[in-house]
Structure 1
Amino acid sequence: MAPTKIPRFSDLPLNKDDPFHSAWGLYGKDDQLGTLNRLTDEVVLEAAKEIKTGVRISLNWPLDAQAETPFFARQAFHQNLYSKPPRCVNDDVWTLNTQSSSQWDGPRHFGYQQERRFYNGATLEDIHKPGSSHLGIGAWSESSIVSHTILLNYHTQRLAQTPSPTTPFPRRQRSPNAPQSRRRSTAHRHQTRRHPHHYHSLRLHGRVQQHHPRGDADDDGEKPTAPCWAGVEQSEAVLEWIWIWE
């Protein structure tokens, strides 16, 4: 359940011994939803009132989008399609790493590296106990995630600049990002006002291939490089922008 008052970003962490900017305990010491607690029935009802046309747009990536070389040497997607004679029936068996396509990262995916702790202080041992589902996305599926998503079309705004930056991001360049100021500008162009029921989807480029995300070998035969991601700026300003609803 969401608290009646959300603390200021500057007041985090809530407990002095917790990692920086963490909000552990805000929704209870045993909570597994995090800020999804703010997605109440009332908030979803308000989001539904904004539906105008009913047009549905999928944001899913194909399961085999990384079929050749998955990022970070993860397991590639494999489909085994087989029939079941004499009946006219087909079955599928899929093998994949869930990080190789569209996915939600659960709070047990990436922890605080120095403290070696996950959300609400969970440890690797807590998560790897036999049969443990602690901090998995299963807790989310019990109520599902339904809300209103705002597309911040940063890519189109970039193309409108003079000169237009139409070339892909350089291979050896540090990961490009969309600073907070540019995201605010994009939102302003679309006359967007944030609400508690809004999620934000940031379109950074026209095609995934233009990001050069894979760790491909360079032309001179060097070892595969680390993926170069396009994303939001890694700064405290961005963290605060995400934390504050309005």
Structure 2
Amino acid sequence: MASSKTDWRRVLYLLSENVQAGIRDAMPRKQSMAAPRFKQLLDQVAQQAIVDALRGSEASVRLVSEEGDHLFGGGAFTLVADPVDGSTNLSRGLRPAATSLSISETATQGGVVAGIVSDLYTGETYYAERGRGATLDGRPIRVAQQKEYGRALISIDVSKGPRLELTRRLIEESSHLRSEGCSSMSLCHVASGSLDAHIDIRGIVRATDVSAALLVLKEAGGVYTVDGAPGGDFRLTRQTRMALVAATSQGLLDEITGLMGQP
């Protein structure tokens, strides 16, 4: 049985490495499968890699995953997993794609004590523990210095829907927009200073996509809103979805939310 003394860093790194190994083994099958079927295979392989590793450990966790929930050793902690965030990217050979894992003392984001996001292409790994900062491959990271919105490098995910109009001013006022197709990596890129903000107000971001990356961002000095609430808490379930805005500073975050509210 696991306890509060469990070395979650070791557990999360082990799980992440297992997923990467499974994905490497599956990649040769890409040439013989249609992209949608290969995407499904990648998700299944990655999920099974996590389940197999947990069965061989003493961790007491309730696994909450985009691919299904499982109970191990009584489930004293909540393990939140998106085995392959950006699976569409990965199935088509686009970057980035990542494995995202967090551990929480409770059933909400506020209880998250550790998180890891590993790039499935490069192996680069972002890791954070509550109150102990964030790292990239073991090196401390911090968000970039504050910039005004017009000069900032912004990641924004958009699609058709009733909220599309809210992004119009954001697009018009920005000089540098990107769309990466992988929420966890976009948040980590804000945390490490590569991006200045990440915006996804479609209301479809899953808790499993961003739980780990939000801890990385917070520990690196970033700020965010969930459904408009600063640093908003949310339940760690497969069904939980949200609108999310993250930035390097409160000033930039305020500027973004102000633009969203303008006609």
**What's the TM-score, normalizing by structure 2?**
0.25
- Which structure has the larger Rg? 1
Normalized per residue, the structure richer in strand is 2
**What's the TM-score, normalizing by structure 1?**
0.27
